[in-house]
Structure 1
């Protein structure tokens, strides 16, 4: 078997180096492994810092613009497609992630033995915290409202419809897995056209895996494959951050684009309305309890400017 590893870097040269070395330092059995590192025009000269990694096993792509996650991966996928001998599987590894065990070998072996499975994700842990959610259900109108209201009785009522699947879950078929550590059949990636280049960051892996499932393939979470992930090291967006933070504008744009593309404009608008209603209820409940609301900072204004406006056919108003 041949596995091509892709790491897309932006401003995290030291972490990217650790991610690459975590792959190079392990014995992957009879699996041939090549690594491709895309530097998305990092402003601090990351390409130069990573240049010495170039070897017969590692290829560095010093880009002149920031392509985002999906387009950065597509750049390598196009290069691989042009090769005479193509990889069996592609392993997408975040720059702030590194192998904890022989995850790559376990994921490749799983795919080899399960021909109906097109993609498999690893169990993800965060230093000092433990296992993090890495397997998910597709987002929809119901679970987006549940996530926005973030209220115990509602959560318990809809726990089997939640987007997130518990971090301590066993190996199982799921809707999608975290893009921080996922292995995908190369021929399936080619068949579905890779990542949608319209996404800059966020929701691109959800969209890709939905298209993979729509094509008749399965996606699995493999608990036995473990990857350590410093979530948010590059984007500064972390689900475990104790304080409320403002989400970047591209998160909101990606949200509306995904829902509009997948379900249509009317469904996306209905979902947006329920999210706003849920967030308003959460604010009221949080104030009564003397707690912080669960919505990101400036959620209502940002959601209107960068998600709802495009759904209404108006120009988005971003802030970064």
Structure 2
């Protein structure tokens, strides 16, 4: 049995839950429990969730926003309690076809890997890739890089479906539950962002593989639930997590290289008008928080 873990926070305002739940209802393989964990939404999301008539639905309604990674750890605990064999972390800002959930479990078992992601495309441009494989690159400050982001799906080399990847985003990712006997789960110091990169790195250090099955696909409404990639919230937490990740895995000495790269990236975003000049203060607060945590 597979436990699907999805985290909500003020999801009604983004109008994403109904479409996500339609995709869940349409699944041909129904050997799963959908666990929705709400992080103290204030927009009526908890009442909406209570009203749902889904036979395989289970709810956790947190009294405070405990963050994405810590909520995912709640999901791992419930999966153990239910005797599940697999746990799938899936954002409610994705949409997918009726064979995805069962297909991911079957593909994971055939691959022998610890975790598996489908191919992920941009929701508004489903012909273009958001994630196929990922790598960590020093010239990008060890920010997890989506290797073929923006490329056409049809340009993806067709030599194989299963591809090794150094990391996979947590928006749609299945694991064998026994993986979490080797690692404790998500590092809950990462409130949002980077928790998936950190988990991927922990697996890599232990010789456990994550793969992508490019024959499976979902479509991602990128950053819709966090106000967009360049909201104050996203800028703060992304840069805070960046500093935590680098310090944890590469040591404080690596910051001498990473910090100038991160600053140059922030300036470039201002010059390209992705960030407002005033948001450099938010960037600095995120960096400072990550260095102090």
Task: Give TM class, smaller chain.
Answer: 0.7 to 0.9
Number of residue pairs aligned between Structure 1 and Structure 2:
280
Alignment counterpart, residue 254 of structure 2, candidates 267, 286, 310: 267
Measure the CA separation in 2 of the matches of 1:134 and 1:189. Answer: 24
Deviation at 1:10, TM superposition (A): 0.6
Alignment counterpart, residue 189 of structure 2, candidates 189, 198, 201: 198
After the TM superposition, which residues 223-234 of structure 1 pair with which residues of structure 2 at under 5 Å, given as runs? 223-234=214-225
- Which structure has the bigger radius of gyration? 1
Deviation at 1:44, TM superposition (A): 1.1
Alignment counterpart, residue 166 of structure 1, candidates 133, 143, 148: 148
Contact 2:239/2:290 (<8 A) preserved: no
Contact 1:101/1:226 (<8 A) preserved: no
Measure the CA separation in 2 of the matches of 1:135 and 1:11. Answer: 29
Q: Does 1:120 align with 2:116?
A: yes
After superposition, the Cα gap between the structure-2 partners of 1:227 and 1:283, relative to the gap in structure 1 and judged at 3 Å, is closer
Measure the CA separation in 1 of the matches of 2:168 and 2:206. Answer: 17
After the TM superposition, which residues 1-320 of structure 1 pair with which residues of structure 2 at under 5 Å, given as runs? 2-13=1-12, 14-28=15-29, 32-53=31-52, 55-83=54-82, 86-115=83-112, 117-130=113-126, 131-144=128-141, 163-167=145-149, 168=153, 169=156, 171=161, 172-238=163-229, 245-246=231-232, 247-277=234-264, 279-280=266-267, 282=268, 292=272, 297-298=277-278, 300-308=280-288, 310-311=290-291, 313=292
Gaps in structure 2 of 5+ consecutive residues? none
Deviation at 1:140, TM superposition (A): 4.1
After superposition, the Cα gap between the structure-2 partners of 1:104 and 1:258, relative to the gap in structure 1 and judged at 3 Å, is same
Measure the CA separation in 2 of the matches of 1:309 and 1:251. Answer: 11
Which stretch of structure 1 is more off in the superposition, 97-106 or 294-303? 294-303
Deviation at 1:141, TM superposition (A): 2.8
Deviation at 1:48, TM superposition (A): 0.7
TM-score where L is the length of structure 1: 0.78
Deviation at 1:293, TM superposition (A): 5.1
Contact 1:17/1:50 (<8 A) preserved: no
Measure the CA separation in 2 of the matches of 1:279 and 1:235. Answer: 19
Deviation at 1:53, TM superposition (A): 2.5
Measure the CA separation in 2 of the matches of 1:49 and 1:38. Answer: 13
SS at match of 1:176: coil
After superposition, the Cα gap between the structure-2 partners of 1:266 and 1:232, relative to the gap in structure 1 and judged at 3 Å, is same
Deviation at 1:263, TM superposition (A): 0.7
